[in-house]
Structure 1
Amino acid sequence: MSSAQEMLAISPGVLRTAVDSGLVTAEQAQGLRELEQARAQVREAEPHDDEKFRFISGFSDIFVTIGLGLFLGALGYFSGNAVGNAGMFAVIAAASWLLAEYFTRRQRMALPSIVLLLVYAGAVFFTVAEAFNPSLGFGLGLGNHGGLPIVIAGLVTAVATALHYRRFRVPVTIAAGVASLVASAVGVLFMIVPDFAEQAAKPLLLACGLAVFTLAMRFDLSDPQRQTRRTDIAFWLHMLAALLIVHPLISGLVGDGGSDVVSAWSILAIFVGLALVALVVDRRAILVSGLSYAGFAFGALVVKAGLSDSVVPLTMLVLGALVLLLSAGWHALRRAILSLLPGALAHRLPAHT
Structure 2
Amino acid sequence: MAGGDPVVNQLSTPPEMLAISPDVLHAAVANGLVTADQAQGLRDLERARTPALEAEPHDDEKFRFISGFSDIFVTIGLGLFLGALGYFSGDMIGNAGMFAVVAVASWLLAEYFTRKQRMALPSIVLLLVYAGTVFSAVAEAFNPSPGFGMGLGNHGGLPIVVAGLVTAGATALHYRRFRVPVTIAAGVGALVASAVGVLFMVTPDFAIQAAKPLLLACGLAVFTLAMRFDLSDPQRQTRRTDIAFWLHMLAAPLIVHPLVSGLVGEGGSDMVSAWSILAIFIALALVALVVDRRAILVSGLSYAGFAFGALVVKAGLSDSVVPLTMLVLGALVLLLSAGWHTLRRTLLPLLPGALARRLPAHT
Q: TM-score, normalised by structure 1?
A: 0.91
Q: Helix, strand or coil for the counterpart of 2:67? A: coil
Please report how far the alpha carbon of residue 31 of structure 1 lies from its aligned counterpart in structure 2 after TM superposition: 5.0
Residue 84 (str. 1) matches residue 90 (str. 2): no
The reply on whether 1:324 has 2:328 as its aligned counterpart is no
Unaligned runs of 5+ in 1: none
SS of residue matched to 1:134: coil
Distance of aligned partners of 1:295 and 1:35 in 2 relative to their CA distance in 1, 3 Å threshold = closer
> Counterpart of 1:91 in 2: which secondary structure?
helix
1:342–1:80 Cα change, 3 Å: same
> 1:350 offset after TM fit, Å?
2.6
| Shift, 1:6, TM fit | 5.4
Residue 106 of structure 1 pairs with residue 116 of structure 2:
yes
- Who is 1:30 aligned against? 36
Aligned to 2:72: 62
Q: How does 1:1-353 map to 2 (within 5 A)?
A: 13-20=23-30, 22=31, 24=32, 28-30=34-36, 32-33=38-39, 50-135=60-145, 138=148, 140-353=150-363
SS of corresponding position for 2:265: coil
CA distance in 1: counterparts of 2:344 and 2:146, whole angstroms: 47
* Aligned position for 2:15: none
CA distance in 2: counterparts of 1:262 and 1:8, whole angstroms: 60
Query: Quick one: distance in 1 between partners of 2:293 and 2:39?
Result: 23
Moved more, 284-293 or 66-75: 66-75
Counterpart of 1:183, as a letter, is A
| 3-state DSSP of counterpart to 2:223 | helix
Contact in 2 for aligned 1:49/1:350 (Cα 8 Å): no
1:246-302 Cα offsets, whole Å, 9 max, x none, are: 010111011212111111111111111110000000000000000000001011111
Deviations 1:161-183 (A, max 9, x none): 00000111000000000000000
Give how far 1:306 is off: 2.2
The DSSP-based 3-state class of the residue aligned with 1:302 is helix
Q: Distance in 2 between matches of 1:238 and 1:304?
A: 31
% identity of equivalent residues: 83
Shift of 1:73: 1.1
Return 330-339 or 119-128, whichever deviates more.
330-339
Deviates more, 1:279-288 or 1:135-144: 135-144
Deviations 1:101-130 (A, max 9, x none): 111111111011001100100000000000
Instruction: State how far apart, in whole Å, the 1-side matches of 2:166 and 2:39 are.
Output: 40
| Secondary structure in structure 1 of the residue aligned to 2:64 | coil
Distance change in 2, residues 1:154/1:18 (3 Å): same
Q: Given residue 144 of structure 2, which amino acid in structure 1 is its aligned partner?
A: P
Once residues 77 and 45 of structure 2 are traced to their aligned partners in structure 1, the CA distance between those partners, rounded to angstroms, is 48
1:144 Cα deviation from its structure 2 partner: 1.6
Distance 1:302 1:209 in 2: 27
How many Å apart are 1:149 and its aligned residue?
Answer: 0.5
Q: Which amino acid aligns with 2:298?
A: V
Partners of 1:283 and 1:321 lie apart in 2 by 19
Query: Which one-letter code corresponds to 2:326 in the other structure?
Result: M
Taking the aligned partners of 1:95 and 1:74, their CA distance within structure 2 comes to 12
1:49 Cα deviation (Å)? 5.1
Q: Specify whether residues 351 and 75 from structure 1 end up closer, same or farther in structure 2 by C-alpha distance, changes over 3 A only.
A: farther
Query: What is the alpha-carbon distance in structure 1 between the residues aligned to residue 306 and residue 122 of structure 2?
Result: 27
What's the CA shift string for 1:292-332, capped at 9, x where partnerless?
A: 00001011111122212111111111111111111111000
Q: Distance in 2 between matches of 1:37 and 1:243?
A: 34
In the superposition, the TM-score normalised over structure 2's length comes to 0.89
The change in CA–CA distance for 1:59 and 1:37 in structure 2 (over 3 A counts) is: closer
Higher mean alpha-carbon deviation, 339-348 vs 200-209, is at: 339-348
Matches of 1:323 and 1:103, distance apart in 2:
36
Q: Distance in 2 between matches of 1:195 and 1:282?
A: 41
Alignment partners' CA distance in 1, 2:214 and 2:305 = 23
Ranges of 4+ aligned residues in structure 1 off by more than 3 Å: 2-13, 33-40, 42-49, 135-140
The Cα RMSD (Å) is 2.5
Q: Could you tell me how far 1:344 is from its partner in structure 2?
A: 2.2
